Structure 1
């Protein structure tokens, strides 16, 4: 049974989320403060975290940043502040999704299912295309959301992993931003071009840390991106 951590300081909201998630056959745990979340995650390793933005002790942005230092566990941010949406998408901190309050608990369950489905979908896609010599520079570890090059490795978020997996499957092929959005956001939401651009920027930075002499993801002006060693 998959384990969902709920970090929410409002008991009524937390209780509602727990009931709906448990009815969907998820095991849940609730924390009502941002303090101690990182240590709890290290020890317990949940499958996904529902993380409120406004928390006592340490806010959700700080908690997300802390967790991303050591874990790729999917994080869905809960927020009543619409102006934070771009940041919560992971442009700066690595969150995998966001939900604005007030929300339907059924929507939350649907988003949780969608995010947890992404990793298996990546694996299925990778089996359809044999790796090329260029693609063999990198090894993708789906279970741990890691990318390796020799003895070096980098931890990716779900979105970053999906982007890299999609580009790497067909080296040299140019993917438009709309195509990448469809691959990454399987629930057909609408996101801006700069969302993909920002994820690609972060992904490039991580790849440069393990392969400093290689530029693997190339921009194609006014079109999109391609993977090529």
Structure 2
């Protein structure tokens, strides 16, 4: 079995050393970058399984590196930052990052986030029922196998986490999910306290589906969110 390859980009050599020792002791291969520009290059050269990006780095910051990496590769990204500011968390998630960890953090917490992402990816790759199903709502078609969404006959680009969230909601029309449930079932880890993660991605889904009459993604106040399917007859009214 091939060892998982983790890329850590952080300009603090102490952080990199701590993570190097920890990850290697758990049989992970570690790639290191001192800034965002190096991280972008290493993603192309080494094709890591997951990328961990510090926000504040010289040459190229973590936000810019996240954007550039996702232009080239569909790879999970975890952002690191000494800032606890909500704006930083929201910006990282809107750029397509899968998770956000605030410094100081324990290597074990970071490892648990990584394992949760890998478990989620393995579950989806082995879920034959989901792979064989296409969710067709007329004006909206979701193909999990091809990871494609067609809106009014046109393919619409979705970030990986946005797509996963849309599929999870669409396969259970009418079911109301709390933010905590969505974090656990879509992000793949127990609730850590940042429900804004879900709100940010719901906002992005609504923007993607803004041209559709039904909207599909609905808020159930005080509870959470649900996907409201529309029949072909309703769509034509």
TM-score, normalising length from structure 1? 0.80
- 1:137 maps to 2:141: yes
- Alignment correspondent of 1:219: 218
Determine the C-alpha separation between the residues in 1 that align with 2:166 and 2:122: 15
Residue in structure 2 matched with residue 181 of structure 1 by the alignment: 183
Aligned to 1:87: 90
Task: State the 1:194 CA deviation.
Answer: 4.1
Cα-to-partner distance string for 1:49-103 (whole Å, 9 max, x where unaligned): 011111110111111122233333111111111115532661x322111222222
Judge which range, 112-121 or 183-192, deviates more.
183-192
Specify whether residues 227 and 45 from structure 1 end up closer, same or farther in structure 2 by C-alpha distance, changes over 3 A only.
farther
List per-residue Cα deviations over 1:28-50 (Å, max 9, x = no partner): 21111122432432343211001
- Choose the corresponding residue for 1:104, options 92, 103, 106: 106
CA contact (8 A) 1:72 1:155 kept: no
Shift of 1:122: 3.3
> Which has the larger Rg?
2
Structure 1: gaps of 5 or more residues: none
Matched residue, 2:148: 147
Residue of structure 1 equivalent to 2:235: none
Structure 2 alignment gaps of length 5 or more? 231-237
- Counting only pairs closer than 5 Å after superposition, residues 34-49 of structure 1 correspond to structure 2 as 34-49=36-51
1:172–1:227 Cα contact (<8 Å) kept: yes
Instruction: Please say if residues 177 and 193 of structure 1, whose CA atoms lie closer than 8 Å, have aligned partners that are also in contact.
Output: yes
Match of 2:234 in 1: none
Mapped to 2, the partners of 1:88 and 1:220 lie a distance apart of 22
Aligned to 1:60: 62
**Greater Cα shift, 193-202 or 43-52:** 193-202
Take 1:174 and 1:134, find their aligned partners in 2: how far apart are those partners? Answer: 19
Once the 2 structures are TM-superposed, how far is the Cα of residue 175 of structure 1 from its aligned partner? 2.9
Q: 1:37 to 1:132 in 2, by over 3 A?
A: closer
CA change 1:151–1:22 in 2 (3 A) is farther
Q: Which SS does the other structure have where 2:95 is aligned?
A: coil
Partner in structure 2 of residue 157 of structure 1: 160
118 and 161 in structure 1: CA distance in 2 versus 1, 3 angstrom threshold: farther
Matched pairs, number? 221
